[in-house]
Structure 1
Amino acid sequence: MRIGELARRSGVSERSLRYYETQGLLRAERTPGGQRRYGAWAVDRVVRIQALYAAGLNSRRIATLLPCLRDADGGPSEIATGRLVTELTAERARIDRMITDLLRTRDILDEVIEDASAPPPRSPLRPPG
């Protein structure tokens, strides 16, 4: 598939796809005319890249991690080193802490929204009206 179709199918801009390529996160075959061509596996790869960025990982970390993941075509993955497993375990713990913090923040916002949505209390000195 060409870059425009990959962008459409993955929901990621062509510009981002080109950036992923320069960062070594995505590879494309080139036609004799120089156009990029991607296999069906690329959609799954781009979705994973997006998820890893959303989790707060940078492109260098993602480039280290991607060879350890299987793509949708079931292609072989490299064996993760013990060091990588340790680093990824730490990343996962960081994400878990972020989730906990976000849930706590959501609970606080729910309280504020509930309090702000309640009708104001009536003053005992003012008659209703």
Structure 2
Amino acid sequence: MRIGELASKAGVSVRALRYYEEQHLLASERTPSGQRVYAASAVDRVRFIQQLYAAGLPSKAVLEILPCVHTGVVTPELMARLTTERDRIDHQIAELTATRDRLDGVIRTTIAYRDTQQPCSA
């Protein structure tokens, strides 16, 4: 598939795909006229790259992790890196859950207060 189709299916910009290629996270073939062509599997790869970025991993870490996802081969050093990243994400999840719970409390308090107020009369 061509770059625009991949961008549309993966939900990213064409510019993002070009950046992923520059970072060696994504590969394409070239047609004789120089247009990029991607395998169908590129959609899942791009989505996974997006998830890793959303989790806060830098390009270098993503580049280290991607081959292991496809081969299943992980060095002890990479296993330590993956574990560290997983623990960092777990910490983020815990902080976000606590923040959500506090917001829920504010919402409940606001609704309870609003429901006890008498309407204004003219």
Fold in common (TM above 0.5): yes
Aligned residue pairs total 117
Q: Which residue of 2 is the match for residue 93 of structure 1?
A: 87
Q: Which residue of 2 is the match for residue 18 of structure 1?
A: 18
1:1-129 counterparts in 2 under 5 A?
1-70=1-70, 77=71, 79-119=73-113
Question: Which stretches of structure 1, 4 residues or more, deviate above 6 A after TM superposition?
Answer: none
Q: Secondary structure at the match of 2:113?
A: coil
**Deviation of 1:118 (Å):** 1.9
CA distance in 2, matches of 1:92, 1:5: 32
Identity in percent: 55
CA distance in 1, matches of 2:66, 2:54: 15
CA distance in 1, matches of 2:12, 2:64: 21
**Deviation of 1:119 (Å):** 2.9
TM-score relative to the length of structure 2: 0.90
CA distance in 1, matches of 2:49, 2:31: 24
- Letter of the structure 2 residue corresponding to residue 94 of structure 1: R
Q: RMSD of the alignment, in Å?
A: 1.5
Structure with the larger helix share: 2
TM-score relative to the length of structure 1: 0.85
**Deviation of 1:3 (Å):** 0.2
Q: Secondary structure at the match of 2:92?
A: helix
Structure with higher Rg: it is: 1
CA distance in 2, matches of 1:33, 1:119: 67
